[in-house]
A and B are shown apart, each in its own frame.
Chain A
Amino acid sequence: MNGTVSGTRLRKELGKQLPAHRISVSDSGRYVQVEADSAQDVCYVVSVASREAAPVFPVPCLGRIPPVDGWHIRLSLSRLSAITDFSPDSGLVCVQCGTGMQRLSDWLAEKGFALGVHPEQSCEMELWEFMLSAASNSFGPRFGFKRDQVLSLSAVLPNGRLFRNSVSPARSTGPDFSLPLLHSAGRFGLPLEIYLRIHPLPAQRVFLTFALDDLPAAVERTWEVASAATPELIEIGVNRLAPGGLPQRFVLVELWGEGKALSVRKELVRKLLGDVARPSEVPYEMLLAFEKTYRFVEGQTRHVTLSRDSLKDLVEGLPPGGGPVTLRIRGFVDGLVSVTAGCNDEAECAILPSEESAPSGSRESRRILDAAAGMLDGSGVFMRLPEMWGGRG
């Protein structure tokens, strides 16, 4: 990244294909902001950025654009907000990347469908940010992790080329590059359009909340809940900053269904958690809206994937009576949980597993991913995207 390109030049190059009213320049911020109207626009902007070695940041809602030396491009994707395909028979919806997650959820609900993950409402997050940041989603054993919601996608690569895979439930056509795309916080490219799996809304949804006294015991029992009752959503919260009246340690369970089958599952959850948790009166939505209650601090938040054993070690290692950390434990899918952990300073953070020690991939796996992303993105267009959500650049 040479950082020598000027705002004037960027504006001129971008203006060759984009109308002037969608390009604005901030001299004080040293960036050019572009509103993209189509996938082609995005590809063009990124190809200019790549040629001119200017970093590109889509305009986030949850994340924050890090300080940049020299000029950069801010890309607004909000106009790419169409729902381009909806197939109830196949259980799929195709959505452009600038679509607001809440809007999408509302739209689907009107048609009687829901996503397999809950978008949260801390801000009107767009699909691209929802997919790339680890911060904002809730899920459970029934529908899997966020990446399990994706059937196929298109993306713009750091050189401005378009990537797309076939719209198929499975393929044997070489490596599946959608995984590096979704697991690199954008370094391999920005998703432009995604086919997401959707599920018919059930006749009834049951929300159960429990306050916990014995966290390690409750964690162990939650694995049993996950396999026996396959809840649609399951989450354990450890919230040292919980405002008055909210439990500091709790379990949330959401079940979909109807009639007897649903009652049986509900009773099963209650029975399994009965001796390690107390039913709580606190509304589910209030506990779920973690942004408002957990208050994770930027730069002091870690995202790790833990196996059952390493989760056990973590919770058993927490100091009695609360401790300094905030944990959001979600998933319980395939013997794994996704943990978002917050702490105040280095000393407090020491009891948390580091992203280095508990990643999905091995150290070598991450080395190769980093090197390949660097190889693909010679001009560093997307290299700093992870920093938007506190990750390493």
Chain B
Amino acid sequence: MERGRLRDELKKLLGPGRISFAPQDIVTYSSDMYPATQIDKLGKMLPQVSPAAICFPEDAAEVQLLVRFCSQERVPVVPCGAGSGVCGGTLPPEGAVVIDLKRMDRILRFDPKAGIIEVEPGIIGERLEDWLNSKGFTLGHFPSSIACSTVGGYVACRSAGQYSSRYGKIEDMTVGLSVILGDGNQLDLGILGGGNRRDPMLAVILGSEGTLGIVTQVALRVEPLPELVDFSGFAFVDIEDGIACMRRLLRAGLRPTVLRLYDPLDSLIAGMHSTTASGEDVHRAASKLSGLKGLLAGALTDLNEAGIAVALLRPSMLNRIAELLPARCMMIIGVQGDKASVARQWDEVRSIAQACRGEDLGPEPGYHWFKRRYAVSYKQSRIFAAGAFVDTLETATTWDNLVPMYRAVLKAMGKEVFLMAHFSHAYREGCSIYFTFAGYRPTSRAAHSIYKRAWREGIEAVTRYSGTVSHHHGVGVLKRWAMGRECPGGIELFSAFKKIMDPERVMNPGKVYNLD
């Protein structure tokens, strides 16, 4: 449909103030936090494609009106929460209608006895958590982006928070969903549809990233706030020992609130007070490395902006130097419960950590992490400010595959980018590895090219070990090409559901699976 006519029709559907064609909005909604779009911005390139309109519905009926209209007219629809997605999940096709859900942010029902809350999708995670805390409850979902992401975005991407080892991922908390499907019909699932949390269709909508419909209501399981959450730090001689400790904790049936093991470099960058095995401050130890190595190590440990760009031009060398850093691996552990239960858990944790040659560093590093737990992600802006790019590859696999996969990814991506990792989101069978990588090239074209190559090499290494190409960020457009490896045959099932739920294929085209 021609842009002008489309806008006129949309104006008829929604009242004034609920739709925008303003150029600044059009530009803003043309990208999200997908680093490839940030690379474009570094090159001062404006987005190549742009949406026709941004709509701000206030309830499910308005969403339904919009989707029905777009389906009839075959206009692509892109649902948008807070736009914090890092995989391009909200990148609009040319002329699309973006449906921003942030005005649908009401808390609809809270049943403390059943431990269930029902909310609209546009509520920001932090606001929901604060509200629940005021009633003595918690959702237990703490993504680093909690201040700038919505519940709708969480369920659409199968998000995970920092306390997932205890509370699970958002899919484990979701017991009901209402969705406006691509054909405009409403679908109520789980407890919102008279069924229960084991409704198999919940698993189809969770993670669908807006490709089948728009989530307009979410029922979530909540829990009473624990009496006490307590943190501690531990240092391990190497990654192998740290992972053995994580595995043994989980297999012993413990469910720590927080369990994060940082590789030596990530221990530094995360700003932890890391020491070498001999107890020396690692910053000091790093500065003793001679010549160029010392310079680079200094740039890294201090995240010196001028140094970053120079250093990132030679990622292989940088990665080798990082290997020389004499740091140990830090682990942050958190446990919760009443006083007696916390004490019991610490006894068990300490005895397992000790058996894995872990040194108990006491509460300080744990509380240091806790204070800065949301700040670390935002450090990335300094790297972009230096003209470089940064991204994260989050994968997961079984315990046996973890170390080989970690090393394989370091090796594969290390040719193109500088990288480090931490291990978190632990399960009885395995855990997630979160690689942070940074690269630099003087032109955005060259930067794009190494960015793409790094991803390709990384994903190939991950899939060689049967790991998943995404543990919690989703697929978007970034990892779509890898879905054939991640889930052979998945596209067949996706197409079948798509034909039933979104026959005109208007919902968030080109995300997750490429049907064209």
CB-nearest residue of chain A relative to B197? A334
How far is the CB of B50 from the nearest CB of chain A, in Å? 26
- The residue that B400 contacts in the complex, of A87, A145, A155, A363, with Cβ under 8 A, is A87
CA distance A165 to B397 in the complex (A): 12
How far is the CB of B197 from the nearest CB of chain A, in Å? 6
- Given A161-B489, A368-B187, CB of A175 within 8 Å of CB of B204: yes
CA distance A184 to B201 in the complex (A): 11
Query: What residues on A are CB-neighbors of B468 within 8 Å?
Result: 166, 168, 170-173
- Given A174-B208, A336-B198, A362-B188, CB of A180 within 8 Å of CB of B493: yes
- The residue that B206 contacts in the complex, of A147, A162, A163, A176, with Cβ under 8 A, is A176
- Given A161-B492, A179-B203, CB of A173 within 8 Å of CB of B429: no
- Given A90-B400, A305-B198, A359-B195, CB of A364 within 8 Å of CB of B188: yes
Q: Is the CB of B471 within 8 A of A364?
A: no
Render A286-310 as a binary contact track against B, CB cut-off 8 A, 1 for contact: 0000000000000000000101000
Q: Does B496 contact A (CB under 8 A)?
A: yes
- Given A362-B193, A364-B187, A365-B187, CB of A167 within 8 Å of CB of B512: no
Interface centre among B169, B203, B397 (most CB of A within 10 A): B203
Q: Does A210 contact B (CB under 8 A)?
A: no
CA distance A74 to B506 in the complex (A): 41
- The residue that B487 contacts in the complex, of A165, A364, A372, with Cβ under 8 A, is A165
CA distance A336 to B175 in the complex (A): 12
Q: Does A157 contact B (CB under 8 A)?
A: yes
CB-nearest residue of chain B relative to A307? B196
Query: What residues on A are CB-neighbors of B202 within 8 Å?
Result: 179
Query: What residues on A are CB-neighbors of B226 within 8 Å?
Result: none
Query: What residues on B are CB-neighbors of A170 within 8 Å?
Result: 158, 160, 169, 396, 425, 427, 432, 468, 471-472
How far is the CB of A133 from the nearest CB of chain B, in Å? 16
Q: Does A159 contact B (CB under 8 A)?
A: yes
Q: Does B500 contact A (CB under 8 A)?
A: yes
- Interface-side segment among B9-17, B36-44, B384-392, B473-481: B473-481
Q: Is the CB of B429 within 8 A of A179?
A: no
CA distance A91 to B399 in the complex (A): 9
Q: Is the CB of B193 within 8 A of A166?
A: no
Query: What residues on B are CB-neighbors of A305 within 8 Å?
Result: 196, 198
How far is the CB of B163 from the nearest CB of chain A, in Å? 14
CA distance A155 to B479 in the complex (A): 23
Total contacting residues, chain B, CB less than 8 A: 73
Q: Is the CB of A175 within 8 A of B208?
A: yes
Query: What residues on B are CB-neighbors of A151 within 8 Å?
Result: 398, 429
Q: Is the CB of B197 within 8 A of A336?
A: yes
How far is the CB of A392 from the nearest CB of chain B, in Å? 16
Q: Is the CB of B496 within 8 A of A163?
A: no
Render B421-441 as a binary contact track against A, CB cut-off 8 A, 1 for contact: 000010111111000000000
How far is the CB of A310 from the nearest CB of chain B, in Å? 9
Query: What residues on A are CB-neighbors of B496 within 8 Å?
Result: 372-373, 375-376
Q: Does A44 contact B (CB under 8 A)?
A: no
CA distance A334 to B160 in the complex (A): 20
Q: Does B122 contact A (CB under 8 A)?
A: no
For chain B residues 485-502, which have a beta carbon within 8 Å of chain A?
Answer: 486-490, 492-494, 496-497, 499-501
Query: What residues on A are CB-neighbors of B336 within 8 Å?
Result: none
Query: What residues on B are CB-neighbors of A87 within 8 Å?
Result: 398-400
- The residue that B200 contacts in the complex, of A162, A172, A360, A376, with Cβ under 8 A, is A360
Query: What residues on A are CB-neighbors of B188 within 8 Å?
Result: 362, 364
Q: Does B88 contact A (CB under 8 A)?
A: no
Query: What residues on A are CB-neighbors of B159 within 8 Å?
Result: 172
- The residue that B193 contacts in the complex, of A161, A182, A365, with Cβ under 8 A, is A365
- Given A361-B200, A362-B188, CB of A173 within 8 Å of CB of B398: no
Query: What residues on A are CB-neighbors of B471 within 8 Å?
Result: 168, 170-172
CB-nearest residue of chain A relative to B186? A364
Q: Does B67 contact A (CB under 8 A)?
A: no
Q: Does A118 contact B (CB under 8 A)?
A: no
Q: List 22 A-B contacts (CB under 8 A).
A: A151-B429, A157-B493, A164-B488, A167-B397, A168-B471, A171-B468, A172-B157, A172-B169, A172-B207, A172-B474, A173-B468, A173-B475, A174-B494, A176-B207, A177-B494, A197-B428, A361-B190, A361-B201, A362-B188, A362-B194, A368-B201, A368-B497
Residues of B within 8 A of A (CB): 157-160, 169, 171, 187-190, 192-209, 212, 247, 251, 395-401, 425, 427-432, 463, 466-475, 479, 483, 486-490, 492-494, 496-497, 499-501, 512-513
Residues of A within 8 A of B (CB): 87, 89-92, 145, 147, 151, 155, 157, 159, 161-180, 182-184, 188, 197, 305, 307, 334, 336, 359-365, 368-369, 371-373, 375-376
7 residue pairs, one from A and one from B, having the closest CB atoms = A362-B193, A163-B489, A172-B158, A169-B427, A179-B203, A168-B468, A365-B201
Given contacts A171-B468, A176-B171, 20 further A-B contacts (CB under 8 A): A90-B430, A91-B251, A167-B401, A167-B466, A168-B471, A172-B475, A173-B486, A173-B490, A174-B208, A174-B513, A175-B494, A176-B204, A177-B203, A179-B203, A305-B198, A363-B194, A365-B201, A368-B501, A371-B500, A376-B496
